[in-house]
Amino acid sequence: MSWGLVLALAAGAYAFKVLGFLVFSGRQLPARLDRCLALIPAALIAALVVKDTFSVGQTLQIDARAAGVAAAVLAAWRKAPMIAVIVIGAAVTAAVRAIS
């Protein structure tokens, strides 16, 4: 990837943000659309985590990462601090890799 392409993509992303500000600056979005837009970041992060946990290239693979994510999800569900969730996930992944 060349620097020209990186700069063009950055300029395009900035232009879209400015365009959105100019078009919607004085308007309120409908309540239903506003609620849906609020859910997009969580859905995107969940999709990326699932994709990176269960795939290697083009193939499906269940390995130590799945156990680590499961342990982290369990810790988050039990309302552990975020640093503890990360450490638990990493420790379980490392332990499963060491065993297998």
E-assigned strand segments in 1-100? 55-56, 59-60
User: pTM for the complete prediction?
Assistant: 0.63
- 32-55: pLDDT as tens digits: 988 998 999 999 999 998 998 898
SS3 62: coil
> How much is the pLDDT for 61?
86
Q: How far apart are CA 93 and CA 22, in angstroms?
A: 47
Triad 91, 92, 93: Cα angle to 5° = 90
